[in-house]
Amino acid sequence: MKILLAIDGSPCSDAAVEEVARRPWPAETSVRVITVLEIPVTPTPETWALPASYYEEIELGLRKQGQNIIDSALPKLQANKALSVGSIIVLGSPRPEILEEAESWGADLIVVGSHGYSALKRFLLGSVSQAVVSHAKCSVEVVRCPPPEKTPET
């Protein structure tokens, strides 16, 4: 079985990592952890005003951030001895990149976390999990983020 686990470092993607790590999977199950990072849009139309190294520095910073996200997830997944774990960092838009990776790798299951946005936030920001569920050619599991712990009022 091939599982594509899409994470972004949020508490909701941590819940997805925990869910995959805790389950008893068939022997020789492969998990590919993917994190997709978007390069920010230039804040000004005058791109000529930016130094030549601007995009190189942004990409280097994003790749470092992506590696940190993956490095925090891998030990949890590797603790499950049934799993063979690999990872990939991709620069681009999460929706199409997750779908493209799942199809090209031949994933049987995509696992993503859900941020639980309200309808307005989903409209404004979009929902990666909703787009993946709607367009994936394989099964998709959306792991809900646990509710925040309530602190006692004093």
The model's pLDDT over 80-130, given as tens digits with 9 standing for 90+, comes to 999 999 999 999 999 999 999 999 999 999 999 886 555 554 444 457 888
Q: What is the pLDDT of residue 76?
A: 96
**Count, residues in the chain:** 154
The residue among 28, 140, 33, 128 whose CA lies nearest residue 76 is 33
Q: What is the pLDDT of residue 131?
A: 87
Token digits of residue 131:
């787009």
138 DSSP 8-state letter: S
* Domain region containing 62: 2-144
Q: What is the pLDDT of residue 79?
A: 95
CA 137, distance to chain mean position in Å, is 18
pTM exceeding the 0.75 threshold for the entire prediction: yes
Task: With a cut of 70, say whether residue 54 has pLDDT above it.
Answer: yes
What residues contact 27, with CB distance under 8 A and at least 6 apart?
82
- Within a domain: 38: yes
- Within a domain: 21: yes
Helix (H) or strand (E) holding 77: helix 54-78
Number of domains in the chain: 1
CATH code for the domain in which residue 44 is found = 3.40.50.620
More confident residue, 53 or 34: 34
Half-sphere exposure of 13 (CA within 13 A, CB side): 19
CB 20 within 8 A of CB 112: no
Q: What is the pLDDT of residue 122?
A: 45
